[in-house]
Amino acid sequence: MSPAKILITALFSVSLLGCIVKPNFVESYDHQCRTIKKKVTLTVEEMTSIGEADCDGSRDCKDEFIGHMIGTSLLFPISAIVSGSIALVGNTVYWLQEDKC
């Protein structure tokens, strides 16, 4: 893999730290069929910061920082998988229940 691709992938990955994927349930009214249509969409939202650590270089602070970085790096892919599954199941159910007019 070229260094440019590695750099772009790394920058994209770092930009997603602290973000979560969230399902949104949307309803819209179809005037022609006179029904309410539902669907699930996904949005990416930034998490608020957990808080600043008061570090004086102690080992506990370093361990807390490493734990925070590992946790936030796992949060985006896990929330994407869970939210994507919710959207897939929700949209399938809505599609099966939809009346064709």
Would you call 10 helix, strand, or coil by DSSP? helix
- CB 47, CB 18: distance < 8 Å: yes
Structure tokens given for 98:
């939809």
pLDDT tens, position by position, 23-66: 999 999 988 888 888 999 999 888 765 555 566 666 667 777 77
DSSP state of 43: E
Measured CA to CA, the distance from residue 96 to residue 101 in angstroms comes to: 14
- DSSP tally for the chain: helices H, then strands E: 2, 2
pLDDT at 16: 61
Q: Is the pLDDT of residue 89 over 90?
A: yes
Measured CA to CA, the distance from residue 39 to residue 17 in angstroms comes to: 27
